[in-house]
Amino acid sequence: MYARKVMIVDRDTSAQKKMAGFFEKSNYEVTTTASAAYAIAQIVKKNQPIVILGDSFEEKISAVDVIALMRRCNKDLRIILVSDDSSLETLRRIREDGIFYHALKPVNQEDNEELISVVEYALGGSPLIVN
């Protein structure tokens, strides 16, 4: 039985599968999708406390716009943006919309552990420790 839920939203299915596998091994109930519309529908239903959001989706919509829509659907949602886009304008806009955390796409075990730590903190678990 899973006590913790996380949704991974990203068109990059390879990255999506790697992150999902890591979270599943850590006893998370993981939902994956490449569709921003599906993710937003789940958020409207209040089925997701944590969303790990990539920077591209099936629909041609920016991550900034997806974050704004998600935030309007559920102000308590914890959104963790996983993106290699680090333009100052993009970062400023997503911070204004209230993301919980921004991380670069994981490339190794240490990066995955950073994401687990952030998710644990977002769920009210252990304190955030990021090296």
More confident residue, 25 or 87: 25
Question: Going by C-beta distance under 8 Å and a sequence separation of 6 or more, which residues neighbour residue 99?
Answer: 67, 79, 80, 81
| pLDDT surpasses 70 at 91 | yes
Domain residue ranges of the chain, discontinuous segments joined by +: 4-122
Q: pLDDT digits over 31-80, tens only? A: 999 999 999 999 998 777 899 999 889 989 988 899 999 989 888 899 99
Which residues make beta-bridge pairs with 43? none
* CATH architecture label of 4-122: 3-Layer(aba) Sandwich (3.40)
